[in-house]
Amino acid sequence: MSFYEPLGGDRYWSTTHTAGPWTARSQHLGPPSALLARALEALPSAVPTLITRVTVEILGPVPVADVEVTAAIERPGRSVELLRAELRANDRVAARAAAWRVATADTSAVATGDDVPPLAPPESGTPISRPEGWGPGYLDALEWRSLKGSLGEPGPATIWARQLVPLVPGETPTGLQRLLTVADSGSGASGSLDPREWWFINTELTVHLTRHPVGEWIGLDAHSILGPSGTGLALSTLHDEQGAAARGAQALMVRKREPEKG
C-alpha cells in the first residue's frame, strides 16, 4: 500500500499510512508535503531545473480522506521561476506550497560543499519503534534508526529515516519527495516538552536545498528552540548518505494544554 491512491485527475485517497501519531483522523504533514512537491516537480520546464526552496504553509488539519492537489507556475522565467501548489480537502485549502525553481548550470569547479560532517551510516543507528501512546500510520510507514536521541525522547535528535511505502503506487519517490516526507518530523523528533502537557505545533515548514538527496535514507539532525512568549523554532540539517543536502526550519506555536474535562 502507498501513502495515496489516485482517484483520477488531481484527486487522491489518503491511506491509513498518512495518519499522524496524535489522531487517526488527521495526516502527519510529511506525506502531504511530499505530494505537493510531486505536483511542483511535474510542472513543465524547457530546460533542466532544480527546486532549491520549498515552503509549506499549514492552513488547517489535513484529514485522512479524499484530497485534491493542483500546481502552477506563478512567476515564469528563463533562469528562476516561482511555483505554487495547494492541497484541498473537504472543500477547503488545507496546505499551500511555494517553491523556487532554478535552471541548472555546471558549478562543480567552484562548489564549496558543506562544512557539516556526514552522519554515521544508517546501519550504525539503533532501530526505533513507535513510542507508547503514539498512534499507527505515518510512523510505521518509515524505518527509523537513531544516532542520538529518539522519537518521544525530549531534546535534540539525530535520526535516519527510510520510506517503506511509495508516495503513490507504481512510482519511485524522487529525492525531493523523500526529503519532504521526513523534514516535517524535525519538531517532533527534537521536542523538549511532554506532548501530553504541551502543544508545540508547527505552522509551516521551509526547506532550502543545496542539492537533491540520493538514495533511500534521509538523515535528520534536529533541535528546537523555545521562546518566552509562546513561540519557538525547530531547525534541522537534512542529510543523505553522502552528506548534508538541505536545511529545514519550522515556526512553532507553543501552548500549555488545558486539562481534559471529565
**22 within some domain:** yes
Total count of domains within the chain: 1
**113 within some domain:** no
User: Could you tell me if 5 and 15 are in contact, meaning their C-beta atoms sit under 8 angstroms apart?
Assistant: yes
Q: Which triple of cell numbers denotes residue 91?
A: 472543500
* pLDDT band at residue 114 under the 50/70/90 scheme: confident
Lowest mean pLDDT among 33-42, 136-145, 194-203, 236-245: 194-203
The beta strands (E) that lie in the chain are given as: 4-8, 11-14, 49-58, 66-75, 80-89, 92-103, 126-128, 142-148, 157-163, 198-202, 204-209, 217-226, 231-240, 243-256
* pLDDT band at residue 28 under the 50/70/90 scheme: very high
Phi, psi (rounded to 5 degrees) for 59: -100, -5
The whole-number pLDDT of residue 154 equals 87
The whole-number pLDDT of residue 85 equals 98
Number of neighbours of residue 104 by Cβ within 10 angstroms: 9
* pLDDT at residue 67 tops 60: yes
CA atoms within 13 A on the CB side of 179: 31
Strands 217-226, 4-8: pairing is unpaired
Percent of the residues in the chain that have a pLDDT greater than 90, as a whole number: 86
Please state the rounded mean pLDDT for residues 42-64. Answer: 96
**117 within some domain:** no
* pLDDT at residue 89 tops 80: yes
Each residue's pLDDT tens digit, 98-109: 999 999 999 999
Please state the rounded mean pLDDT for residues 120-141. Answer: 94
The beta strands (E) that lie in 59-177 are given as: 66-75, 80-89, 92-103, 126-128, 142-148, 157-163
* pLDDT band at residue 90 under the 50/70/90 scheme: very high
* pLDDT at residue 260 tops 70: no
The whole-number pLDDT of residue 194 equals 78
**140 within some domain:** yes
In CATH, what number is assigned to the domain containing residue 13?
Answer: 2.40.160.210
CA atoms within 13 A on the CB side of 206: 10
Task: Look over the chain and give the mean of its residue pLDDT values, rounded to a whole number.
Answer: 95
**50 within some domain:** yes
The whole-number pLDDT of residue 261 equals 60
CA distance 96 to 117: 33
The whole-number pLDDT of residue 2 equals 97
* Amino acid letter, 155: G
User: Could you tell me if 199 and 241 are in contact, meaning their C-beta atoms sit under 8 angstroms apart?
Assistant: no
**201 within some domain:** yes
Using CA atoms of 162, 215, 122, 23 in order, give the dihedral in degrees to the nearest 10. Answer: -20
Each residue's pLDDT tens digit, 210-240: 999 999 999 999 999 999 999 999 999 999 9
In residues, how long is the chain? 262
Q: Which triple of cell numbers denotes residue 82?
A: 516561482
* pLDDT at residue 259 tops 80: no
Each residue's pLDDT tens digit, 168-194: 999 999 999 999 999 999 998 998 887
**115 within some domain:** no
Domain region containing 228: 4-104+122-256
Please state the rounded mean pLDDT for residues 6-28. Answer: 96
CA distance 55 to 62: 16
The whole-number pLDDT of residue 152 equals 81
CA distance 11 to 69: 7
* pLDDT at residue 121 tops 80: yes
